[in-house]
Amino acid sequence: MAKIAPSILSADFAKLGEDVDDVQSRGIDYLHIDVMDGSFVPNISFGPAVMKSLNEIAKIPYDVHLMIQNPERYIEEFVTENTEFITVHYEACQDVAGMIETIHGFGKKAGISIKPGTPPEVLDDYLPDLDLILVMSVEPGFGGQKFMDISISKIKYYAEKRKENGYNYIIEVDGGINPENAYLVKEAGADLIVAGSAVFNAKDRTYAIKKIKE
């Protein structure tokens, strides 16, 4: 059984509050907050103001995924009572260790994400300090893309490292996951699954959530 974090990127922004309220009553574990800057990725989503506008209705903690260049400039903006994880991209950081320290300094759990083309070993030095590793299974930037199975071996790599060394991070995977293929990442060792379109566009959202988790 894995946990699930539906990505609000696939919600209807014209009725974001309603959509969030709807999914949070269906057995989800986190709300995945996809922030894109049009520079690190070729798309712009929304910023901290939109996330904060959800604070009043959100009963589920935030899993913030920052797809922004030099994220150290903006960490503080995403620190709210609802924020549990703040994840930044390895490829976007000048100083990964410093970044982890900054997030911890705000009392939040720290995650690092790697893109499909980034080898898993780049995070070796940081594994003891991380609370979360986010393996991308699509090129970051858009919802609704096809799952890339290059992510499978990376999930296994981090699961193995954790077992060998007694590390504490959770392994999250993001992109193209649906009720039909979720077993692939769960078998590989993923603890937390992001799903955008597979949840928000589902005819039966409760069923989609349950299938992805179990």
Binding residues (CB under 6 A) for ligand DX5: these are 7, 9-10, 32, 34, 65, 67, 138, 140-141, 143-145, 174-177, 194-198
Active-site residue, selected from the candidate residues 34, 63, 131, 191: 34
Residue partners of 131: CB distance under 8 A and separation at least 6: 85, 109, 110, 111, 168, 169, 170
Minimum distance between the CB of residue 164 and Zn ion, rounded to whole angstroms?
28
Question: Is 34 annotated as catalytic?
Answer: yes
Minimum distance between the CB of residue 167 and ligand DX5, rounded to whole angstroms?
24
Instruction: Sort 203 into a burial class: Cβ within 10 Å, 0-12 / 13-18 / 19+.
Output: exposed
Residue partners of 163: CB distance under 8 A and separation at least 6: none
Residues belonging to the chain = 214
Residue nearest to ligand DX5 (CB): 196
Minimum distance between the CB of residue 7 and ligand DX5, rounded to whole angstroms?
4
Identify the residue among 19, 29, 34, 131 touching Zn ion (CB under 5 A): 34
Identify the residue among 2, 30, 62, 65 touching Zn ion (CB under 5 A): 65
Residue (of 102, 14, 19, 115) closest to 60 by Cα position: 19
Active-site residue, selected from the candidate residues 37, 63, 174, 191: 174
Residue nearest to Zn ion (CB): 65
Query: For residues 15 and 29, what is the distance between their CA atoms, to the nearest angstrom?
Result: 21
Size of the site for Zn ion (CB under 5 A): 3
Minimum distance between the CB of residue 175 and ligand DX5, rounded to whole angstroms?
5
**Residue 141 partner contact from ligand DX5, Zn ion, none using kind-dependent CB cut-offs of 5 to 8 Å:** ligand DX5
Token pair for 63: 């899993």
Token pair for 204: 């039966």
Minimum distance between the CB of residue 45 and ligand DX5, rounded to whole angstroms?
9
Question: Is 19 annotated as catalytic?
Answer: no
**Residue 176 partner contact from ligand DX5, Zn ion, none using kind-dependent CB cut-offs of 5 to 8 Å:** ligand DX5
Strand order in the sheet with 109-114: 3-6, 192-195, 170-174, 132-136, 109-114, 83-89, 62-67, 31-36
Instruction: Sort 214 into a burial class: Cβ within 10 Å, 0-12 / 13-18 / 19+.
Output: exposed
Contacts with Zn ion in 149-208 (CB under 5 A)? 174
CA-based radius of gyration for the chain:
16
Active-site residue numbers? 34, 174
Residues contributing to the site for Zn ion (CB under 5 A): 34, 65, 174
